[in-house]
C-alpha cells in the first residue's frame, strides 16, 4: 500500500513528522525519567514513610543518632582535606603543563587511570599498602581519595590556564612586575574559574564517596556514603533515604555556592 492510499489522518502525521534535534532528546528524557527522577521520588517518599504512614520519625531517628552525625562531620572533613591537597598538588602541575607544548599529551597520562574502574584502583592501592607494611587508616583513606580524584582538579585547571592570553603576563612584566607579582596579579585571578570548577568536581564526589574508605581503612573508617549503604543493607530504608536527602542537599548547596562565586568573579573580570 502506498503512502497516498493511507487514511488522511495517518498520512498527515507521517507527512508532518520531521527528524529534528528535539526528536533525538526523547530517549534521554525517558532515561532521565526512569533512572534519575523516579529513584529520587522514591527516596523522597521513603524519607517520610514509616510503617506505611506519613511521619517525621525518620528525621527524628537520624537527629538522635550521634554516630550518623559524626560520620557526616568526618565526611565533610575528609572532603575539605582532599580538595585542598588536590588543589595544592594539581595547580602547580597544571600550570607547568600549560607552559609545555606537549602538556596536553601529558595530561592524558593523568586521565588514563580513570579508564580503570575506581574499585580496581582502590584494591590495587590496598594491596600496595599491605605489601609495603603501611598501616591502613585515615592517612591511606585520604591518599586514596586524592589518587582517585586529582585528575578532576588537573583537567579544568589545565584547560583554564592554557586559555589565558599571554599578553596579560607580558604586559605586567613590561611594567616592571616580578614573576611572582605577575602570577599573583594576573594568572591566579584569571584561573579562578578553573579552581572553582576543580574544587566542585573534587569536593562533591569526595563527600559522597563509597567503598574507598572501607577498603583503605580495613573497615575502621566509615564515611557518609558507606553509612547510607549500611542503612539500606539493614533495611532501614527511611533513615537511609533521609541521609540520601542530606547528601543531595550538600551537593546542591556546594554547587550553588561555587556557581555564585564563579558568576561574581566573571562579573568582576567583565568590569
Domains in the chain, ordered, with CATH? Answer: 19-55 (no CATH), 57-270 (1.10.3720.10)
User: What integer pLDDT is reported at residue 170 of this predicted model?
Assistant: 80
- Grid coordinates representing 31? 532515561
CB of 124 closer than 8 Å to CB of 116: no
pLDDT bin (cut points 50, 70, 90) of residue 17 is low
Q: How far apart, in Å, are the Cα atoms of 37 and each of 26, 32, 33, 135, 231?
A: 15, 6, 5, 42, 22
Calpha distance 188→181 (Å, rounded) = 10
User: What integer pLDDT is reported at residue 145 of this predicted model?
Assistant: 94
Q: What's the mean pLDDT when you consider all of the chain?
A: 83
pLDDT bin (cut points 50, 70, 90) of residue 265 is low
- Helices H, strands E: what count in the chain? 16, 2
Per residue in 110-160, pLDDT tens? 788 778 888 888 999 999 999 999 999 999 999 999 999 999 999 899 889
Q: How far apart, in Å, are the Cα atoms of 29 and each of 40, 89, 90, 178?
A: 15, 39, 36, 53
DSSP 8-state symbol, 135? P
**pLDDT(1) > 50:** no
pLDDT, greater one: 257 or 55: 55
Calpha distance 93→218 (Å, rounded) = 32
**pLDDT(94) > 60:** yes
CB of 83 closer than 8 Å to CB of 254: no
pLDDT bin (cut points 50, 70, 90) of residue 6 is very low
CB of 181 closer than 8 Å to CB of 117: no
Q: Which residue matches cell numbers 543518632?
A: 65
- Grid coordinates representing 3? 503512502
Angle value at C-alpha 191, between 185 and 192, nearest 5 degrees: 95
Per residue in 167-195, pLDDT tens? 888 888 888 888 888 888 888 888 888 89
What are the start-end ranges of the E strands in the chain? 49-50, 53-54
**pLDDT(90) > 90:** yes
**pLDDT(38) > 80:** yes
Per residue in 189-223, pLDDT tens? 888 888 988 998 898 889 888 788 889 998 888 88
- Grid coordinates representing 48? 517520610
Phi first, then psi: what are they for 210, rounded to 5°? -130, 130
pLDDT bin (cut points 50, 70, 90) of residue 3 is very low
Amino acid at each position: 500500500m502506498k503512502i497516498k492510499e493511507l487514511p488522511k489522518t495517518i498520512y498527515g502525521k507521517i507527512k508532518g513528522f520531521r527528524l529534528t534535534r528535539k526528536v533525538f532528546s526523547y530517549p534521554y528524557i525517558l532515561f532521565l525519567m526512569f533512572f534519575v527522577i523516579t529513584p529520587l521520588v522514591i527516596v523522597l517518599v521513603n524519607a517520610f514513610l514509616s510503617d506505611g504512614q506519613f511521619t517525621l520519625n525518620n528525621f527524628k531517628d537520624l537527629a538522635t543518632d550521634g554516630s550518623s552525625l559524626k560520620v557526616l562531620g568526618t565526611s565533610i572533613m575528609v572532603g575539605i582535606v582532599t580538595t585542598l591537597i588536590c588543589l595544592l598538588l594539581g595547580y602547580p602541575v597544571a600550570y607547568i603543563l600549560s607552559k609545555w607544548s606537549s602538556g596536553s599529551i601529558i595530561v592524558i597520562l593523568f586521565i588514563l587511570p580513570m579508564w580503570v574502574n575506581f574499585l580496581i584502583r582502590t584494591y590495587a592501592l590496598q594491596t600496595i599498602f599491605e605489601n609495603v607494611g603501611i598501616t591502613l587508616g585515615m592517612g591511606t583513606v585520604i591518599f586514596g581519595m586524592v589518587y582517585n580524584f586529582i585528575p578532576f582538579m588537573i583537567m579544568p585547571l589545565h584547560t583554564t590556564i592554557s586559555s589565558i592570553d599571554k599578553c596579560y603576563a607580558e604586559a605586567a612584566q613590561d611594567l616592571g612586575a616580578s614573576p611572582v607579582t605577575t602570577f599573583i596579579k594576573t594568572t591566579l585571578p584569571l584561573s579562578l574559574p578553573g579552581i572553582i570548577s576543580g574544587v566542585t568536581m573534587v569536593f562533591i564526589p569526595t563527600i559522597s564517596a563509597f567503598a574507598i574508605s572501607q577498603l583503605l581503612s580495613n573497615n575502621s573508617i566509615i564515611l557518609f556514603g558507606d553509612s547510607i549503604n549500611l542503612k539500606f543493607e539493614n533495611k532501614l530504608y527511611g533513615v537511609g533515604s533521609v541521609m540520601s536527602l542530606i547528601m543531595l542537599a550538600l551537593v546542591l548547596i556546594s554547587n550553588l555556592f561555587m556557581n555564585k562565586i564563579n558568576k561574581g568573579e566573571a562579573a568582576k573580570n567583565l568590569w
